[in-house]
Amino acid sequence: MAQIIDGKKISAQIREEIAAEVAQMKAEGTVPGLAVIIVGENPASKVYVRNKGKGCAEVGMYSEIIEMAEETTQAELLSKIDELNARCDIHGILVQLPLPKQIDERAVIAAISPSKDVDAFCAPNIGEMMLGTADFLPCTPAGIMQLLARSGIEVAGKECVVIGRSNIVGKPISQLLLAENGTVTICHSKTKNLAEVTRRADILVVAIGRADFVTGDMVKEGAVVIDVGMNRRADGKLTGDVDYASVEPKASFITPVPGGVGPMTITMLLKNTLTAAKKQK
């Protein structure tokens, strides 16, 4: 039977640590501030943005949610980012994705000052991560590394298999596992004999976006299984990319969905905002 990695509990611990540092900064006259821009009416995005605001309040940070209309032009959004780049009370800027189709996502991410890019999505910050010199790490992968570290799971020397190669999860988590001296294999939709590769994994990270895709026969006995997937079933319930019922009995550690990787993402955003405020102070 696997030990469950409790993302809610670990996230709460980290938020307490952040809150203590925020209190210290406030006593010294600086309130870390995060601006979140949302363009349009995407209901899921609205929930994510609201939760980011709540997260800031919980740790004592200032947050500003900037709502822009669906028909906002790229020039208008870039001008808003320029304004926030110049403000001293805003240390982190996040533009909620996806953006309406008239706006070029890459251009928007590139416009955020790298020192305020708390999502760590811009090319300079990705480059720093590759070099091992980053101030900010992308939030979901950074959260996964915290889950491993705080569960006492050693990465060095382990066979790490990542399924998924997106810029926000698969590629960066592969890089972070490598930086911790894991032996990393990255799989994707063109990978042949996927189950043969995944059965080699001591640590298996699954970030595909397909409900219950990884089944018990794809997992080695004793593997650590990290399920990044967040999929909505027809009945509205949230489910991961891992078939928990067949995988859990074989795993040594497993993250549940919900309550595993999910709670860590906003927490790492708060951590990045704190880091940004310290650097800019």
Binding site for ligand NAP (CB under 6 A): 140, 163-166, 168-170, 187-191, 194, 207-210, 228-231, 261-262, 265
Other C-beta atoms closer than 10 Å to the C-beta of 200 total 14
In which element (H, E) is residue 8 found? helix 7-27
3 carries an active-site annotation: no
Using CB atoms, what's the residue nearest to ligand NAP? Answer: 166
The reply to whether 89 belongs to the active site is: no
d(CA 214, CA 255): 13
Closest contact distance (angstroms) between CB of 88 and ligand NAP is 30
Kindly tell me which of 90 and 176 has the beta carbon lying closer to ligand NAP.
176
- Report d(CA 204, CA 217) in Å as an integer: 13
Pairing of strands 62-68, 33-39: parallel
Taking the least distance from each CB to ligand NAP, the nearer of 11 and 115 is: 11
Phi and psi of 126, rounded to 5°? Answer: -65, -40
Count of CB atoms within 10 A of residue 107's CB?
Answer: 11
Helix axes 43-59, 7-27, angle to 10 degrees: 60
Q: Decide whether 62 or 121 has the Cβ nearer to ligand NAP.
A: 121
Residue closer to ligand NAP, measured from CB, 103 or 230: 230
- Does 96 participate in catalysis according to the annotation? yes
Q: CA-based Rg of the chain, rounded to a whole angstrom?
A: 19
> Three-class SS of residue 18?
helix
C-beta closer to ligand NAP: residue 140 or 275? 140
- Residue 2 is classified by DSSP as P
Q: Which of 6, 116, 117, 119 is catalytic?
A: 119
Tell me how far, at minimum, the Cβ of 265 lies from ligand NAP, in Å: 4
Alpha-carbon span 109 to 186, nearest angstrom = 25
Catalytic residue among 6, 80, 96, 241: 96
- Name the helix (H) or strand (E) containing 203: strand 203-206
DSSP assignment of 117-151 equals BTT--SHHHHHHHHHT--S---HHHHHHHHHHHHT
**Would you give the end-to-end CA distance of the chain in angstroms?**
48
The single residue of 52, 158, 171, 271 carrying the catalytic annotation is 52
Nearer to ligand NAP, 265 or 275 (CB): 265
| Residue numbers annotated as active site | 52, 96, 119
